Copies of this chain bind each other. A is one copy, B any other.
Amino acid sequence: MPITALIFIANGTEEMEFTIAYDTLTRAGIKCTSAFVGEGHQSTPSPATASCSRGVKIIADTTLESVEKSSNFDVLIVPGGAKGAETMSKSKDVQDLIRSQYDAKRIVGMICAGSLAALTSGLPSQPLTSHPSVTNQLDEKFEYRDDSVVVSGNLVTSRGPGTAFPFSLKIVEILLGKEKREEVVGPMVFPKGTI
């Protein structure tokens, strides 16, 4: 059985954070599925296309409604982008998936404004980070940190597009080990000393 990831996408999702997570995990051999999260009152476009935060239009692999409640993904990822993260963090279905993923001790990843979903899903107080623009919504409830990637048990959080590579590679490392991480890093040709 391959390792699997479910990555949410919505209108307003930060397209670099989404794409870096999807692509990096796929390079590691993780089977990624993107799920379009609608805004409740609006019907899902067909194909399920997200207009992302800076205008890139991405077609999701499936929709949130089509994701089997019994599916067991090895990791769930909530990308940022203010509007997309708001849609996701307010979605009861997303909250339920995050909560059951977290309770089953499987990995939950949140980056940028995506970390707001930790609050709305009622995750317990613990170390966490986010985009600086939403710090004040999170630092009362959580042990807020300024690190690029924060690992707290099975919750992995990060800050923004600039930390999306370290975030994604940390998830690869947790799921598949340091050797796989290095195997993925090589062909991506990072500037020396930056990863």
Contact = CB atoms under 8 A, between A and B. Distances in A.
Interface of A: 14-16, 19-20, 22-24, 26-27, 32, 34, 49, 52-59, 61, 131-133, 148, 159-163, 165-166, 185, 187-191, 194-195
Given A132-B189, A160-B187, A19 B19 contact: yes
Contacts of A195: 162, 194
Contacts of A163: 189-191
Given A15-B22, A58-B58, A131-B189, 10 more contacts: A16-B23, A19-B19, A23-B52, A26-B55, A132-B187, A148-B189, A161-B188, A162-B165, A162-B190, A194-B195
Among A16, A34, A132, the most chain B Cβ lie within 10 Å of the Cβ of: A16
19 contacts: A14-B23, A16-B16, A23-B52, A23-B54, A23-B56, A27-B54, A57-B59, A58-B59, A131-B189, A132-B189, A133-B187, A162-B185, A162-B189, A162-B191, A163-B189, A163-B191, A166-B191, A191-B194, A194-B194
